Amino acid sequence: MANRTKRDRIGWLFVLPSLAGVMIFYLVPFVDVVRRSFRQAVGGGFAGLENYRQVLLNKAFILAIGNTVRFVSICLPLLLLLSLGVALLLQNQKRYREVMKSAYLVPLAIPATSVVLLWQLLFDNNGFLNGIVSLFHIESRDWMNDGTAFGVLVFSYIWKNLGYDVVLWLSGLLGIPVSIYEAAKVDGAGPINTFFYITIPNIKPVAFTIVILSFLNSFKVFREAYLVAGNYPHESIYLLQHVFNNWFSELSIDKMAAGSVLLCTVVALLVLLLQRSWDKSGV
Amino acid sequence: MAVFALLAVSPVIFLLAGTFMGNQEIIECIAPVFLDGEGYAFWKVIPQYPTFCNVVGLLLDSPEFFIMFWNSAKISTFILAGQLIFGMPAAWGMARYCFRGKKLIYTIYIVMMMMPFQVTMLSEYLVLDWLKLIDTSAAVIFPGMFSTFSVFIMYRFFCGIPESILDAARIDGAGELQIFLKVGIPLGASGIISSLVLSFLECFSMIEQPMTFLKTKSLWPLSLFLPEIHSGNAGFSMCASFVALLPAIFVFLIGQDYLEQGIAASAMKE
């Protein structure tokens, strides 16, 4: 028994160096941020919820939150359905599965820097896309400086994340024992019945994880937005990161602090939900 | 479906062709974009007059580009090394031992991993400012070294090693550190590589962190390089974008199986 406790103390030693780094660079300063979110930027007096009120009434912040909500509510279902569709097609496709999977994963590796040029040429007033569109006698437009900038962002996000989600779905799909499908076939179940009664129930636990991971990845779409449209993009793709960047350059520490705490709360709630589902599926 | 797949890899093909095209040829293709001319830009999959002109120009006459490339290499190397030195033991400790507070630490790590940069931006800034690290490469490297994401991926793989192997090693008289080095690392190798591949791709396209913490342009990594096209340098920009892509694609091709395992590991229990 004593041996066991001693051994577990060694476990602590393994974790300690990393934990110290996480504490120094993330946790302790974040506590400071929480403290600052209740204080005035100048003078440091107690400000109560004043910073939060300012953030929540801030026009740029509201715009960014609105865009983010709109972005997520359009992208997420689209991405999930598309990637599930591709994964289902690949599930029974043994010959080309690996090649296809690789092709879909390539965008994950491509740094945003490298697609800037292509995106510019693609969506310009006289660019590739308008060239294609004109074949169908549709009027050309500047895709990046229009409401369609939002569509470009949606496209970029899906282009980038499709492969990631396909791999995630496949890891769930390929874990379903083939024998269940065979048994269903013997019992005379058609493809539609098999899908609803075997595939869906079996990938439910994975599905929840994919939703949350994809949601969190959507915060990173700023990279594409920044490289294509710079710091002052069309207002339909004005994102949270833009707001934070502006506050940062204005040194509005109080607003940043309150904004971070708000965002942190939302993300933390989602993560706890995710963990709960892991615990359940792990039993 | 093959069409989608083609769409996914098309940027690589696009840049590959552009790299070996002469300035003249590129301009012919895309003239309408920057001259506001009539008609639309088009592209060729295979250059009509292939040339190494731009590749040579990039390799020989563009020191700024090389500095950025070197910065990226430096930042990525240090971050990955740090993740191995600090993250790997932490993953092992959490995966193989039960100690008080483990559950709490694990939860903290997961939450940290999920936080978007917007949340940690100010806190990172405050501590880096306090340590006088702002506007040095270390400002990007240190927080990256302690990214909890890589710990999480390695943790998942370390959990999969059967306890009986470790017990056998203990009976043979191996110490805990020895077990970690001689049994844990070799058996968890695929997880370690997975996390390195994922981290490398992340490091290599990092934008938010260097943009916020590095003001001096000579410290910037390649991911902040913003290619522009005007008639004089179209070929150069094309070529630079392609070279910026090479390391990532190289790692992708070698580490692809590990990349997939790593992604799948984030969705599965165990």
3-class secondary structure, A94: coil
Set of chain A residues whose Cβ sits within 8 Å of the Cβ of B243? none
Q: Tell me the average pLDDT across B80-98.
A: 92
φ/ψ (deg, to 5) at A231: -80, -20
Alpha-carbon distance of A114 to A227, in angstroms, equals 10
ipTM confidence score: 0.81
Torsion, Cα A166 A167 A169 A173, to 10 degrees, reads 120
- Under a CB-based contact definition with an 8 Å cutoff, are residues A117 and B241 in contact? yes
How distant is the Cα of A183 from the closest Cα of chain B, in angstroms?
25
What is the Cα–Cα distance from B241 to B233, expressed in whole angstroms?
12
End-to-end CA distance of chain B: 31
- Please give the pLDDT value at position A128: 66
Residue A283 has pLDDT above 50, yes or no: no
Inter-chain CB proximity B40 and A257 less than 8 Å: no
| Contact between chains at B223 and A113 (C-beta distance less than 8 A) | yes
| A182–chain B nearest CA distance, Å | 24
> How far apart are the C-alpha atoms of B249 and A221, rounded to whole Å?
20
- For residue A139 the two structure tokens come to 């009027």
Instruction: Kindly report which listed range (A197-201, A219-223, B115-119, B189-193) carries the lowest average pLDDT score.
Output: A219-223
Query: Which residues of chain A are within 8 Å of residue B4 when distances are taken between CB atoms?
Result: 86, 104, 162
Model confidence at B211: pLDDT above 80: yes
In the prediction, which pLDDT does B262 show? 85
Residue A85's alpha-carbon distances to A120, A173, B1, B91, in angstroms, are: 30, 12, 10, 35
For CA atoms A115, B149, A28, A278, give the dihedral sign. Answer: positive
Tokens of A253: 């520490």
At A1, the pLDDT band (50, 70, 90 cuts) reads very low
Structure tokens at A120: 């510019």
**Which chain B residues in 198-237 lie under 8 Å from chain A, judged by CB atoms?**
201, 204-205, 207-208, 211-212, 222-227, 229, 237
For the ranges A164-168, B43-47, B146-150, B249-253, the lowest mean pLDDT is seen at B43-47
More confident residue, A169 or B57: A169
Contact (CB<8Å) B244/A113? yes
Whether A241 sits inside 8 A of B208 (CB atoms) is yes
What sign results for the dihedral spanned by CA atoms A266, A272, A275, A280?
A: negative
Of A54-63, A251-260, B139-148, the range with the highest mean pLDDT is B139-148
Is B125 part of the contact surface with chain A (CB cutoff 8 Å)? yes
Q: Quick one: three-class SS letters along chain B? A: CHHHHHHHHHHHHHHHHHHCCCHHHHHHHHHHHHHCCCCCCCCCCCCCCCCCHHHHHHHHHCHHHHHHHHHHHHHHHHHHHHHHHHHHHHHHHHHHCCCCCHHHHHHHHHHHHHCCHHHHHHHHHHHHHHCCCCCCCHHHHHHHHCCHHHHHHHHHHHHCCCHHHHHHHHHCCCCHHHHHHHHHHHHCHHHHHHHHHHHHHHHHCCCHHHHHHCCCHHHCCHHHCCCCCCCCCHHHHHHHHHHHHHHHHHHHHHCHHHHHHHHHHCCCCC
Interchain CB contact of B97 with A (< 8 Å) = yes
**pLDDT for res B79:** 95
Cβ contacts of B212 on chain A, cutoff 8 Å = 245, 248
For residue B198, the chain A residue with the least C-alpha distance is A109
What pLDDT does residue B233 have?
Answer: 66
What is the tens place of the pLDDT at every residue in A27-64?
999 998 888 888 887 777 787 788 888 888 888 888 88
Judge whether residue A123 has pLDDT over 50: yes
The alpha carbon of A31 is separated from its chain's Cα centroid by a whole number of angstroms, namely 25
Q: Assess B140–A contact: CB distance below 8 Å, yes or no.
A: no
Q: How far is B107 from chain A (nearest CA, A)?
A: 8
Q: What is the pLDDT of residue B196?
A: 92
For A197-206, B136-145, B181-190, which range has the lowest pLDDT when averaged over its residues?
A197-206
- Which segments of A218-252 does DSSP mark as H helices, in order? 222-229, 240-250
Q: Which of B1, B42, B143 sits opposite A86 (nearest CB)?
A: B1
- Alpha carbon distance B255, B257 (integer Å): 6
pTM listed for this prediction: 0.84
B263 with A168: Cβ contact below 8 A: yes
CA–CA distance, A104 with A159 (Å, rounded to integer)? 8
Q: What is the residue type of A94?
A: K
Pick from B146, B173, B138, B141: which is nearest to B91 by CA?
Answer: B146
| Residue B156: predicted pLDDT | 86
Report whether B124 contacts A260 (CB < 8 A): no
Model pLDDT, residue B270:
42
What is residue B90's predicted lDDT score, i.e. its pLDDT?
94
CB contact under 8 A, A112 and B207: yes
Using a CB-CB distance cutoff of 8 angstroms, which residues of chain A are in contact with residue B144?
Answer: none
> Chain B closest CA to A232's CA: distance in Å?
15
CA distance A177 to A91: 12
What mean pLDDT is predicted for residues B35-48?
59
Q: Which residues of A touch B268 (CB under 8 A)?
A: 171-172, 175, 206
Is B254's Cβ below 8 Å from some Cβ in A?
A: no
Query: How confident is the model over B227-264, as pLDDT tens digits?
Result: 665 555 667 777 777 888 888 888 888 888 888 888 88
Residue B135 φ/ψ region, left for φ over 0, alpha for ψ in the -120 to 50 degree band, beta for the rest: left
Query: B146 and A227: CB-CB below 8 Å?
Result: no
What percent of chain A is modeled with pLDDT above 90?
7
According to the model, what pLDDT value does residue B59 have?
67
Q: Residues B185-210: what's their mean pLDDT?
A: 89
Cβ–Cβ of B118/A30 closer than 8 Å?
no
How confident is the model over B211-231, as a mean pLDDT?
79
Task: Give B43's contacts in chain A (Cβ within 8 Å).
Answer: 121, 128
Query: Which pair of structure tokens corresponds to residue A102?
Result: 């690789």
Mean pLDDT along residues B208-225: 86
The answer to whether residue A129 scores a pLDDT higher than 60 is yes
